[in-house]
Amino acid sequence: MRKISDTIAKLAALRARHATLTADLRASDDLQTLTDFGDDPGALGAKFYIPNDVSTVASLVVVLHGCTQNAAGYNHHSGWSQLADEAGFALLFPEQQRGNNPNLCFNWFQPGDAKRGSGEALSIRQMIETMVVTHGLDRRRIFITGLSAGGAMAAAMLATYPEVFASGAIIAGLPYGSATTIPEAFDRMRGHGGPSEQDLQRTLRGASNHQGPWPRISIWHGAADHTVSPSNAEAIAGQWRGVHRLEKAPTHREVAGSHGKQVWRNGAGEALIEINMIAGMGHGTPLGIGLGAPGPYMIDVGISSTREIAQFWGIAATEESASRKSRPQVPTSHRPLPQSPAPGIENAKAKPPQPTAIHQFPRHTELGQPGVKKIIEDALRSAGLMR
């Protein structure tokens, strides 16, 4: 009887895996492949998504999947493209390759991949620049999020390229610079050892020559996460409190069901850092009604971190407002192709994007078209992102 029950259990598990794979394959139809985004020193892949009715100068959200995941699967389960259709922002999905990491983890713990100007970090920066130039996106509204290893890599991107991002969100991730070897990475994931808060703050300040303003940070973690210790959420907040000049104690606390939140606000009342801790939740991305679908490491707890992160960033309406809003959908093949000048390479947080005549071409131009690749490479070289 045990053999029969074991066989039934294995068949059920295989059916579940097949259903997840089928859903992921369907989801891949929503994403397009980004090519010709520079010399790609980290040897990463990339997908992207542009909503049907995106505005002329839209926000860009960079989404980093976790280990064993891919871009299409994470998009499907998290609901990011659903929300992008609703709110009108563009999406970029960097994608790890097995040649870099057999478990498809971003190499957040390898100094050569998590440092400004090299490896996977530079590849992601090149992708962002290509998206901005090609699609005329708003440099002042670029955001990044990720789960687990993707969350730790998002932390690395926020630390090494803080001038690029308005805000970020780290889900079940770790602080930047907390590990520089594989054994250290496993120790930090378990919550063992690690740099002091002061050392983490020094590491963040030393990751670039940026003097501010600094990205706002939303942190999400399951209180029952046994893969990446919840202590890492507090460590991330501690790392970023220094550059934001915030006190250790949060300015606001609240609890709603299983969702506990700590918020650090500046003198003007703006939320600069928040920790969202989900009681009873293990390792994964919190999901709620209406966005995404449960799957491995994608956990339905009745709270959509995707929507709440976008609300924290200021690029999406509340669920109640969204339910009153219905947009007609236009097939991808029928999308308009407005002319949109790509902005220059300056940091647009301090300076609005300026049109540059040489980069003027339609938003949805195919990157493989003659001349477009050269335009992208010229823009990357001008920005110091490619030799």
Amino acid of residue 78:
S
DSSP assignment of 43-111, as one string? --EEEEE--TT--SS--EEEEE--TT--HHHHHHHHTHHHHHHHHT-EEEEEE--TTT-TT----TT-T
Amino acid of residue 156:
A
Whether 348 has a pLDDT exceeding 50, the answer reads: no
- For residue 347, the model assigns a pLDDT of 32
Tell me the percentage of the chain whose pLDDT exceeds 90.
Answer: 71
Whether the CB-CB separation of 291 and 82 falls below 8 Å is answered with yes
Q: How distant is the alpha carbon of residue 142 from its chain centre?
A: 10
Calpha distance 264→249 (Å, rounded): 8
Chain segment 277-311, per-residue pLDDT in tens? 999 999 999 999 889 999 999 999 999 999 999 99
148 catalytic residue (yes or no): yes
| pLDDT level of residue 276 (50, 70, 90 thresholds) | very high
Whether 1 has a pLDDT exceeding 90, the answer reads: no
Chain segment 205-235, per-residue pLDDT in tens? 999 999 999 999 999 999 999 999 999 999 9
Radius of gyration of the chain measured on its C-alpha atoms: 20
What's the mean pLDDT in 49-60?
Answer: 87
Whether the CB-CB separation of 49 and 84 falls below 8 Å is answered with yes
**Closest to 201 (Cα-Cα) out of 160, 240, 246, 158:** 240
- For residue 318, the model assigns a pLDDT of 63
- 354: Cα within 13 Å, side-chain hemisphere: 7
- For residue 377, the model assigns a pLDDT of 76
- For residue 339, the model assigns a pLDDT of 29
Q: Give SS3 for 352.
A: coil
The structure tokens 């250290």 sit at 184
What's the mean pLDDT in 9-26?
Answer: 45
**Token digits for 200?**
């983490």
Chain segment 121-178, per-residue pLDDT in tens? 999 999 999 999 999 999 999 999 999 999 999 999 999 999 999 999 999 999 999 9
Chain segment 85-105, per-residue pLDDT in tens? 999 999 999 999 999 999 999
- For residue 119, the model assigns a pLDDT of 98
- For residue 30, the model assigns a pLDDT of 86
| 56 Cβ contact list (under 8 Å, min separation 6) | 136, 338, 340
Cross-strand partners of 10? none
Measured at the alpha carbon of residue 131, what is the angle toward residues 128 and 134, in degrees to the nearest 5?
A: 145
Cross-strand partners of 8? none
The structure tokens 């703006």 sit at 270
**Token digits for 294?**
């449960």
Please list the alpha-helical segments (H only) found in the chain: 2-28, 71-78, 80-87, 119-135, 149-160, 182-190, 197-206, 231-244, 305-313, 319-323, 372-382
Whether the CB-CB separation of 58 and 137 falls below 8 Å is answered with yes
Domains plus CATH for the chain? 38-335 (3.40.50.1820)
- For residue 378, the model assigns a pLDDT of 77
**Closest to 30 (Cα-Cα) out of 104, 87, 90:** 90
Tell which wins on pLDDT, 68 or 363: 68
Element (H, E) at 275: strand 271-278
Calpha distance 282→235 (Å, rounded): 18
Amino acid of residue 218:
S
- For residue 372, the model assigns a pLDDT of 63
- For residue 382, the model assigns a pLDDT of 73
Burial letters 144-167, b for 16+ CB under 10 A, else e: bbbbbbbbbbbbbbbbbbbbbbbb
Chain segment 108-118, per-residue pLDDT in tens? 999 999 999 99
- For residue 20, the model assigns a pLDDT of 46
| 35 Cβ contact list (under 8 Å, min separation 6) | 367, 368
| pLDDT level of residue 380 (50, 70, 90 thresholds) | confident
Calpha distance 295→276 (Å, rounded): 21
Whether 13 has a pLDDT exceeding 90, the answer reads: no
Whether 84 has a pLDDT exceeding 90, the answer reads: yes
Peptide bond into 213 cis (omega under 30): yes
| pLDDT level of residue 23 (50, 70, 90 thresholds) | very low
**Token digits for 37?**
């985004």
The structure tokens 């390898």 sit at 110
Name the packing angle between helices 80-87 and 305-313 (round to 10°): 40
| pLDDT level of residue 33 (50, 70, 90 thresholds) | very high
- For residue 325, the model assigns a pLDDT of 46
| pLDDT level of residue 15 (50, 70, 90 thresholds) | very low
Name the packing angle between helices 71-78 and 2-28 (round to 10°): 90
* Candidates 78, 123, 148, 340; catalytic one: 148
Whether 56 has a pLDDT exceeding 60, the answer reads: yes
Chain segment 183-193, per-residue pLDDT in tens? 999 999 999 99
